[in-house]
Amino acid sequence: MSDLTARTDSSVSGMTEREAKEFHGLFMLSFIIFTVIAIVAHFLVWQWRPWLPGPNGYTTSWLGDTHQIVHSLISYVA
């Protein structure tokens, strides 16, 4: 007897009730993990550069801060 004829209680998807519940559990777990990672990534990006700038716009940039640090280090060395 083949495997397909032995599964008379399967649904349209071809999975049994137990297999469908197992797949649903794994799907929900992976969806929750993905959502948590996406929320953390969005929060970190928002801390780095807010999506809505203040009234003066984006006042500092990473390159401008680096330029200022290099000049102050050079003044200490010189």
Q: Is the pTM of this model over 0.75?
A: no
The more confident residue out of 8 and 15 is 15
Q: Specify the DSSP class assigned to residue 54.
A: B
pLDDT of residue 72: 80
Q: Specify the DSSP class assigned to residue 52.
A: S
Tell me the pLDDT band of 8, cut-offs 50, 70 and 90: low
Strand ranges (E), the chain:
none
Q: Which residue has the tokens 């990534």?
A: 41
pLDDT of residue 56: 73
The more confident residue out of 47 and 2 is 47
